[in-house]
Structure 1
Amino acid sequence: MLYYLSQLSGDVSVLNVFRYLTFRSGGAALTALLVAFIFGPGIIRWLKKKQREGQPIREDGPESHLLTKKGTPTMGGMMILLAIGTATLLWADLDNPYVWAVLLVTLGYGGLGMIDDLKKVTKRNTKGVSGKAKLLVQFGIAGLATYWIVIATDPSIDTGLTVPFFKNIMWNLGWFYIPFGAVVMVGASNAVNLTDGLDGLATVPVMIAAAVYGLISYLVGNAVYSSYLGIHYVPGSGELSILCAAIIGAGLGFLWFNAPPAMVFMGDTGSLALGGALGAISVITKHEIVLVIVGGLFVLETLSVIIQVTSFKLTGKRVFRMAPIHHHFEKKGWHESTVVIRFWIIATILAIIGLSTLKLR
């Protein structure tokens, strides 16, 4: 909403500052952070009142979790959604269709995650919405969002898939691009969900990925910078840097309460929404493949589950002591904070490699 103040800059020149993406991105990050700080304690108190026993803990998980995490409420993603939504509506250009497409995925997946978390809490087990039903809803939302994105994008690139490290390669997928985009969003959403198993483990890598895609969206949405770097120009995509900044601010605010020992877990409410948002932004900016690099930690976590399940079904043997892989290292004796910080380092390295694709072409 504040963006529209720039239209009055002819009368009040200082209002011209609201035109700049950098200024509004900073404002969005600070707004999201403040919303989380202000409303976070109240949300946590309400969740504790409603969830007296907290989030159900896996009985086959690391033994320490039954002691350190028992009674901690889930659905803290409500705090994240409130912060992102408020900051985006306040600072973004609401005439931009890309903003609404990403919000559709973020809030839609967040709502699905909320229902899933509620079922887990009320039934007192780690099974919520059935896997098939969850995927059906996820693909429905993602398919609609991708169709929206294709319509809003310039016809010359609307269904094109770019390849990292190459300037002029773009594969036109035609209408197959819609299911492809949906797979990207659903995959990213569930990958972040699988990673969210330790305090802060998913939050910081999501913020790192959001920072990378905030820069990518800014560059892709600028004709001069995109031409210089040899990447495809997507008019209007720069506005997503504000949404990425809101994700960072919301993540920092949530991490304040999620730092060990966690006062609240984000649950599927937050993890599904954040992963979906990253997937949607990668589709809009035409950097879908780069997400595999930038979000490599999430890919690693997902692959560990796939390998574990496949191995057990085919041979009856497990490759890891427990999947996802962060639990494997806990079972090996690593302290939770050691696992988390080392995974943060891996996420940072992968983000730097992902950023290098912008220049190495």
Structure 2
Amino acid sequence: MAVAADVKQCDVVVVGAGIAGASVAAELAESRNVILLERESQPGYHTTGRSAAVFTRAYGPPVIRALTRASESFLRGKDGLAGPAESQLRPRGVLFPARSDQMDKLDRMAEELGDTVEALSGSQVREMMPILRDGYAAAGLYDATAADIEVHGVHQYYLKKFKSLGGELQTGDELLGLTASGSGWEVETRSGVIRAAVVVNAAGAWADEVAELAGVGSLGLVPKRRTALLVSPPENCVPDPWPMTVDVEEKFYLKPDAGKLLISPADATPSPPCDAQPDEMDVAICVDRIETAFDLSVRRIEHKWAGLRSFLPDGCPAAGYDPRAAGFFWLAGQGGYGIQSAPALARAAAALVLEMPIPSDIADEGVEASVLAPRLGKVAA
């Protein structure tokens, strides 16, 4: 049967051109004909473009830490032809201060993270972060390997790689329908119809909506809002050499950013998928927590924004085919760890799309297909 002129054919359609979609599309384009579909006019408009990402091996559940370790050589520019020529990490370090009433939390973190972090006394914490209020921290932990991630650089690397391999990026093209057919999927968009054997659902906060559109059913994904503010440091302070400082219970963080301070209440308020905006109560909470911990008076907020970090019920990402629908592949639930884990997760996901083993260097870190497989039993009733 002849195919209508307005119907495109490809091997794989990837829905969502944030870091998850762009990276897996680039990996798949090495051996498959791939179309990358993005509703916004520019890729990464939502979560990826609003990330203040930090690379740290001490962040996230075990599978995320394993993916992070497996992503490090790529991010440091040490993969040669398999990654960026230059490092996408800039030294930063992350400091975890704890008040006297938080020492049990600090002990648990130290036990869990082992030699990833070093223990500090209260005076050492204060020396490392000079604007922390005197006497605030009883002790702390420090991750010396942590670094700022050049988010835009990593994202653009994948988009450029994807295009250089012949991949087709369709921006400003909303997904309207997904229909299973005998040979795969019929993907309806505003610009026309695409037929593909596989659909990769990398739609971030909208991943459950995409699955519902396909008649597959959700995984119980919960987008959570995270608020950030940009403020000035105290007078005569140059914050650039300071480490990022994260409360041991993650009630706030402060991160130097080009001579300014990026601060957050580390909020995680459930939200419908949307173009997230900061809530004034979260802004007020942020200022209060920061002023309580630091010798800093926030007199003016220079910029404020919010982004969505999407979590599955068990807090771990999903990368695998849905057993309820042939050819429907999940790549979702990266939470706040999507940038630092993207290189390894993209390679693992691409291998699973192609029904191949997870690359050995990633598997050696403890990442197994069974750990990444969609957890249908975890979906809330």
Kindly indicate which of the two structures has a greater share of residues assigned to helix: 1
Q: TM-score range by the shorter chain?
A: under 0.3
Q: TM-score, normalised by structure 2?
A: 0.23
Kindly indicate which of the two structures has a greater share of residues assigned to strand: 2
Which one has the largest radius of gyration? 2
Q: TM-score, normalised by structure 1?
A: 0.24
